[in-house]
Amino acid sequence: MRAEPVAQGTPDPEGRYGVREERLLTGATVVTAVRTVASVVLAAMAAHQQDLTLLVVALVVYWVGDMLDGFYARVRDCETRIGAVLDIMCDRLNAAAFYIGLAWLQPDLSPAIFVYLAEFMVVDCFLSIAFLAWPIRSPNYFFVVDRPIWLWNWSKPAKAVNSALFAVLLLVTGWMWVGLAIATALLVLKCVSLHRLTRIGLPVPGAVG
């Protein structure tokens, strides 16, 4: 089914999800920075010490911190596009630190891990920053642009599947082939989302000057 183009004007006429005052330093970005540094340090220590338990702790710090910074931003009404981009970038660093550490400790899982990293760090990253083409604060509000893409990528179930299911399955079962199937399915879903996004088209900003 062909995606209907979205008008290049404000897709949120009531302003509930639109752009507000932008600033780098907020309580939410501080949480993002702290959880990122803590998780990466723990992952590096885990790889150095060959300690899978410590690597899992790094993953938990990443997940809890990622939920906390978003929760703080919404509750304290300090969501910004800068904060959203910073969160997206830090998610990739935390994920890379964990999964490369896991591949280091359990190299038999590497095929599944590197397919997942291709999906998460390249295709999903592009999709996640595409919200910047519209006047909305983060990909969490992409439903005002295109609801199917939002459902597939940033609804709560989609986030859980993309971030948690793959890691938990690998850690609990160690089944590389099942992990590879899940990572491949996620990659296909992201490519379908990307195709739909290109059918919609990214708004082109006006010329400067």
Over residues 138-160, mean pLDDT: 94
- Residue 61: CA atoms inside 13 Å, Cβ hemisphere, count? 23
Q: Looking at the whole model, is its pTM more than 0.75?
A: yes
Q: Choose among 60, 62, 51: nearest CA to 93.
A: 62
Please state, rounded to an integer, the average pLDDT across all residues of the chain: 89
pLDDT band at 18 (very low <50, low <70, confident <90, very high): low
Per-position DSSP letters for 16-35, written without gaps between them = SSB-----S--HHHHHHHHH
